[in-house]
Copies of this chain bind each other. A is one copy, B any other.
Amino acid sequence: MADLPAGLGVVEPQFARVCEGGLDLECGRRLESVTVAYERYGHLNAARDNVILVCHALSGGAHAAGRHAGAHKPGWWDVMIGPGKAFDTDRYCVVCSNVLGSCYGTTGPASPDPATGRPFGRRFPVVTVGDMVNVQKSLMDHLGVSRLHAVAGGSLGGMQALQWAAAFPGAVRSVIALATTHRHSPQQIAFNEIARRAVMSDPHWRGGDYYDGERPRAGLALARMLGHITYLSDRGMERKFGRRLRGDALRFDISGEFEVESYLEHQGRSFVDRFDANSLLYLSRALDYFDLAAGGRALADVFRDTDAAFLLLTFSSDWLYPPYQLEAVAAAAQSAGRPVVYREMASEYGHDAFLLEHEAQEPVIRAFLGNPTRYNPLRHSGPEAPSRCHAPIGDRGGLASPSACS
């Protein structure tokens, strides 16, 4: 381990059978057996109250930090998790588990269907963020943890964090949600529908039963390319690519002439080597179904029973999960009497900012985790001045005006 940079070093995936007796899903169907892949960094204290559950986004997995033996790349949030980092493993026991429906070790459409012994494919039941969180709760029971110090995540991970507070109001001391929403909008649903149709239009998809043959690579790559446009911002793309060409001069070809096109092609191609097309269908659908205020329920009522404190972070150029969405969550949780800190951070990275702006996030998250109910961003200013932020209700008795923090 001498050649590894300071950090967690080599980590190992773990697996657990959870949901004993089967898992009843929101769609009305049932999974008889659920396996969860997870990783754990840092030590569980004697009181078992120092666990931070980190939740991953659509294409992530349980490998959030450290390195697997022989791997070059660390986990997806390694910059944030480790000794002395924002999620400080000298202090907290950080757990990250792969979500239900994914393809990185937890039960999903590529897993064998116990009824046939062959991969579920499209016979896998439609799963929701609520189902994912039920599986995580079962994993926490398995680990003997009854209350989380925090649950944290961005995008789909942020939905899981919010869902924890809604579904298990007494089991969460604090919620950290980044670049996410309480409810998928029609535009968000629409982009996902295009991605799904790209996969399902690929003749190699074959109704989802492609595991014994060629995979729907072109369709999955196309879906991912579209995803990447929505993860970046207009200005960020201008800065990163401009109109630069792949070659020295214009070739006047119908496709693949600009650098931005090469970038997307590369992203699409590398994604199909690591992700299952059916998982993209199921996880994107879980995003679409997510609606904490379903059935006309007032969003504030969703947070009425929890005693959690909330840290909600958005990014100015994120147009896939625009700041107004988490701002609505902030207002609702605050009107339910919860301590809430909402910050819109200035960034050109678009939706990707939640993974890239770690320097700006780190001091905010670290300070919040240290004392979730009393954290005040007006006293703990990060390197990045937020364009809008709200102080916790306990400190100011209401939403701070935007100009108070900029």
Contact = CB atoms under 8 A, between A and B. Distances in A.
Interface string A179-191: 0000111110111
Contacts of A28: 252
Contact of A254 (B196, B252, B260, B319): B196
A197 B221 CA distance: 10
Contact of A234 (B187, B229, B232): B187
Residues of A contacting B: mostly: helix
B126 A243 contact: no
A202 B218 CA distance: 10
A10 interface: no
A342 interface: no
A243 to B, nearest CB: 6
Contact of A255 (B191, B196, B241): B196
A194 B229 contact: yes
Interface string A212-238: 000000110010011001001010011
A108 to B, nearest CB: 13
A68 interface: no
Contacts of A184: 243
Contacts of A200: 255
Top 7 A-B pairs, shortest CB-CB distance = A27-B252, A186-B260, A186-B237, A186-B241, A126-B252, A201-B218, A187-B234
B226 A201 contact: no
Contact of A197 (B122, B186, B255, B282): B255
Contacts of A250: 289
A229 B185 CA distance: 12
A3 interface: no
Nearest to A128: B252
A198 interface: yes
Contacts of A238: 185-187
A258 interface: yes
A197 B255 CA distance: 8
Nearest to A293: B243
A301 interface: no
A20 interface: no
A243 B193 contact: no
Nearest to A223: B194
Given A186-B241, A198-B198, A201-B218, A193 B288 contact: no
Given A193-B255, A193-B264, A240 B186 contact: yes
Interface in A259-281: 259-261, 264, 281
26 contacts: A26-B252, A126-B254, A183-B243, A186-B238, A186-B240, A186-B242, A186-B259, A186-B260, A187-B229, A187-B232, A187-B237, A189-B261, A190-B225, A190-B237, A190-B261, A193-B225, A193-B261, A194-B222, A194-B229, A196-B254, A197-B222, A198-B201, A201-B219, A201-B222, A250-B289, A257-B288
Nearest to A262: B193
A272 B346 CA distance: 42
Contacts of A259: 186
Given A184-B243, A186-B240, A229 B196 contact: no
Contacts of A261: 189-190, 193
A285 interface: yes
Given A27-B252, A254-B285, A260 B189 contact: yes
Contact of A243 (B234, B281, B291): B291
A161 to B, nearest CB: 21
A129 B192 CA distance: 32
Given A193-B261, A194-B225, 15 more contacts: A126-B252, A184-B243, A185-B238, A187-B234, A190-B260, A190-B261, A190-B264, A193-B225, A193-B255, A193-B264, A196-B254, A197-B255, A203-B203, A226-B226, A252-B289
